[in-house]
Homo-oligomer: A and B are copies of this chain.
Amino acid sequence: MTQFDSALNQLRERLLSGFYSPGVALTAADLAESLGMSRTPVREALRTLASEGLVEMEMNRGARVTVWDDEKLAVVFDIRSLLEGLACRRAAERAEAHDLDELDALAQRILAKGEPGPDRDEDAVQSLNSEFHNGILRIADSPMLETAMHGVVHAAVLARTRGSYTDEEQRRSSLHHLEIVAALRSGDANWAESVMHSHLAQGRIAALRARNESEAAG
């Protein structure tokens, strides 16, 4: 694990968690200090994050946190739907029994943690959700696909601020996960792809609604 890797991971984490406000300037020296390293690996990480779309760099002006408008967000979900659909197709053809068991366990936990009531834990849902989607990507087993998704997946996660799902949407989302596992288990690539498309179509609606609500509020 190099300083570059460390900087990349930590900065990506901060950007996705909303630690930095959209549009804010990211000063290399400040980041370096807060990460306990010099500017060199930080600058390399910023270049990588720029090519992932999480920050934007301008000549002699350094990096700024990307501002997400409705248009960008919608495209991100379109792209993510296509790529994750492809990942599902591939996963349906490659998944082993133990892969499916792991995904199933994750889907069950997401269902439980997302159920309305005292045990609800949205942080856990979000974290497990990431694990589920990453799991499918792993089963799809294609470095190229992972590379292509880096530019958009993270951004989509960023958009889904916590609490954007209604109870009904959360439940449907959880059931989508279970249905995806069922589709993968049956080896039906079309089915798996379709459910993923439905899953992200709903996610897109919720993300855009959440954005507009928070805009109207603040």
Residues of A at the B interface (CB closer than 8 Å) are: 1-2, 4, 40, 43-44, 47-48, 50-53, 59-60, 71-72, 75-76, 78-79, 82-83, 85-86, 142-145, 147-148, 150-152, 155
How far, in Å, is A17 (CB) from chain B's closest CB? 20
Q: Are A4 and B47 in contact (CB under 8 A)?
A: yes
How far, in Å, is A79 (CB) from chain B's closest CB? 5
**Copies of this chain, count:** 2
A144 contact from B4, B60, B152, Cβ within 8 A = B152
Q: What residues of chain B lie closer than 8 Å to A83, measured between beta carbons?
A: 79, 82, 148
Knowing that A48-B51, A82-B85 touch, tell me 8 more A-B residue pairs with CB under 8 angstroms: A2-B59, A2-B60, A44-B44, A53-B148, A71-B142, A75-B145, A79-B145, A82-B83
A52 contact from B51, B71, B75, Cβ within 8 A = B51
Q: What are 5 A-B pairs at a CB distance below 8 A?
A: A44-B44, A79-B145, A79-B148, A144-B151, A148-B151
- The chain B residue sitting closest to A73, CB to CB, is B144
Q: What residues of chain B lie closer than 8 Å to A148, measured between beta carbons?
A: 53, 79, 83, 148, 151-152
How far, in Å, is A87 (CB) from chain B's closest CB? 10
Q: What residues of chain B lie closer than 8 Å to A59, measured between beta carbons?
A: 1-2
